Amino acid sequence: MEGPVQISREYGRRRVGIECNISGRDIGGFVREARQKIASRVKLPSGYYVTWGGQFENQQRAMKRLMLIVPMTFGLILFLLFVTFGSMRLSALVILNLPFALVGGVVSLYLSGLYLSVPASVGFIALFGIAVLNGVVLVSYIHQLYADGLPLREAIVQGCARRLRPILMTASITVFSLIPLLFAQGPGSEIQKPLAVVVVGGLVTSTLLTLVVIPALYGWFESKRS
């Protein structure tokens, strides 16, 4: 007589595990397509059901946590900016730096052929922190010069010139430190590479646009205010 070598059980019920490795596409898209095909082509007997576990289950659990953590992080950043500047207008100006970083991160993921994953999401959180820091460094100094009596245009020009080096140093040091992760191979690279790609790509666009767009918006805000 022939029979199964092992009978697995979970919650008192028999369980049969089917494992597969996914290459060249994201886990979420694969599971959605697989669910549709199973629902249309497979008729399960009464009492049978399908659950999806493994890395997909871990990813879904982590994404649910990130959906709570990310809004809380944005709220905390906005609160700290308001405490720093005492102005919601300047706080919102610094927050406007985040879409610049988001564009670079998304484009870098697309060009590298990677997909949004938990490591990439963590990379976006780290990227937003660096982008906000650069925005604070620039806006706070320009605002200080303007408050000290310099004309608006001169305060913006001097502020950008004097804060160019600190902003470039912050971005370049971060990029150089992540270069080994960009070319990581072997075990662990599936976590290291998406994070590094998001941060490096986002810092490129964020740094360039911080030095161009934020000073222009600051001048526009102050001219409208006066």
**Mean pLDDT in each 10-residue stretch from start to end of the chain (226 residues)?**
67 76 74 84 82 78 80 85 84 84 87 81 86 88 89 90 89 87 74 86 88 86 73
Residue 59 β-bridge partners: none
Inter-residue contact 141 to 119 (CB < 8 Å): no
Q: What's the pLDDT score for residue 179? A: 86
Q: What's the pLDDT score for residue 40? A: 85
Q: Is residue 188 part of a domain?
A: yes
Q: How many domains does the chain have?
A: 1
Q: Nearest 5°: phi and psi at 184?
A: -65, 140
Residue 182 β-bridge partners: none
Predicted TM-score (pTM) of the model is 0.76
Q: What is the CATH number of the domain that holds 65?
A: 1.20.1640.10
Q: Is residue 144 part of a domain?
A: yes
How far apart CA 21 and CA 224 sit, in angstroms, is: 57
Q: What's the pLDDT score for residue 3? A: 61
Q: Is residue 136 part of a domain?
A: yes
Q: What's the pLDDT score for residue 4? A: 63
Q: Is residue 190 part of a domain?
A: yes
Q: What's the pLDDT score for residue 130? A: 87
How far apart CA 159 and CA 175 sit, in angstroms, is: 24
Q: Is residue 118 part of a domain?
A: yes
Range of the domain at 202: 59-225
Report which of 173, 197, 76, 60 is spatially closest to residue 132, judged by C-alpha positions. 76
How far apart CA 124 and CA 101 sit, in angstroms, is: 8
Q: What's the pLDDT score for residue 80? A: 85
The alpha carbon of residue 18 and the mean position of all alpha carbons in its chain are separated, in whole angstroms, by: 32
Q: Is residue 169 part of a domain?
A: yes
How far apart CA 131 and CA 198 sit, in angstroms, is: 13
Q: Is residue 51 part of a domain?
A: no
Q: Is residue 23 part of a domain?
A: no
Residue type, 77: I
